[in-house]
Each structure stands twice: as structure tokens, then as C-alpha cells.
Amino acid sequence: MRVLGVDPGLTRCGVGVVDGGAGKPPRLVHVDVVRTPADHDIAVRLLQVAEEVEAMMDTYKPDVVAVERVFSQQNVRTVMGTAQAAGVVALAAARRHIPVAWHTPSEVKAAVSGNGSADKAQVTTMVTRLLRLDTRPKPADAADALALAICHLWRSPMQAKLAALTPTAPRRRTAPPAPAVRVAR
């Protein structure tokens, strides 16, 4: 399974592609950070993020796109930009019929480090070790995107087993293959 992990953002949007599967160690395929200038118009910045992430989806053809589930924390302006960037990434995946999975920051930290409140340095250290890289991925957004992809590789078989055990499956979190459902207005 190939996962494209996205740490969404307008100033820096981390994108990491990781291969993995049952019994196989995760393997780095690609990592990059899309940057857009803070003084540009928001719509233009969203277009830049969309175009670069779409190009990566088309090049690396992931089976799943894993995106950080954004919460409303600190700075309102930053959070809104982050949510908008996450939206255009999810849209790009839906257009390609690639399922989108959402993981919270603490789920990602817990998955790679065993500690849901690990700091950025610990996450980077664990990602470097798990992918057996010679150098630490930089900036932190790149490491976070890789951590998201690794988190999905590990959580998704567990989530699938849980869903199979639950008689009425909970709210779907990944896109069905044919998403063009239109609703009568």
C-alpha cells in the first residue's frame, strides 16, 4: 500500500509518500514541502498548494491520502488557512477517486512514537529511524507528513478489523470509489 501523507498549511504544506504493508517496514518514496508566500492572495495560495499536491498524486499514484485532522487551536487565521488547504487536498483526492483518511495530531504522534504528546523533535527522530534515513527530514512539516503516512499504514488494518467487528459501521472516513452523488436541491 502506498500512502501520501499531508500536513496541510498555506505557508508550508508537508507532503510525504511512504510504501508499506503487512510485515514490511515502511519505505520512503518521496518527501516535499509546498510553500506559498504569506503576502499573496489566499485563493492564489490555495491554487498553488492544489497544483503541487495534484502533481504529486499524479506522479506517485497513492492508494490512500492521509490528511491531518485540523482542530481549532491557537491562531484563528492560521487554523482557517490550514483547514482551507486540507479542503483543497481532500478535493484533489476525491476527484481522483483516492480515499481520504483523517488522523489527529495525537493519533499520529502516538502511532510513530508511542506518545500522543510527543514533541516535533521526537516525531522527527522516530520518522528518521522508522524509515532508516541517513538525515533527519526538514522542516518539521516534512517529518509530520511522513509520520501521517506511517500512522495510516499502521492504523488502517486495525481500523478495518474494528469496522468488520462492528455490526453497524460508524461514520465513513474514506471516500467510496464513485463519489459523484448529486443531491436534489
3 state DSSP class of 125: helix
Residue 58 grid coordinates: 499524479
7 is in an annotated binding site: yes
Q: Which one of 27, 41, 132, 169 is in contact with a copy of itself (CB under 8 A)?
A: 41
Q: Which is nearer to a copy of itself, 44 or 158 (CB)?
A: 44
* Selected range binding a copy of itself among 19-27, 70-78, 108-116, 119-127, rule: CB under 8 A: 70-78
Is 183 an interacting residue with respect to a copy of itself (CB under 8 A)? yes
Q: Give the three-state DSSP class for 36.
A: coil
Nearest by Cα to 14 from 53, 54, 60: 53
Residue with cell 509530520: 144
Q: According to CB under 8 A, which one of 21, 114, 139, 179 is a site residue for a copy of itself?
A: 179
User: Would you say 104 and 144 are in contact if contact means Cβ atoms under 8 Å apart?
Assistant: no
Distances (CA, A) of 146 to 36, 93, 162: 20, 18, 24
Determine whether the annotation assigns residue 68 to a binding site: yes
Which of 17, 56, 86, 147 lies at the binding interface for a copy of itself (CB under 8 A)?
A: 86
Q: Which residues are designated catalytic? A: 7, 68, 141
- Do the Cβ atoms of 89 and 65 come closer than 8 Å? yes
Interface residues with a copy of itself (CB under 8 A) are 32-37, 39-44, 46-48, 50-52, 70-72, 76, 79-80, 83-88, 90-91, 93-95, 99-100, 102, 171-176, 179-183, 185
Binding site for Mg(2+): residue ranges?
7, 68, 141
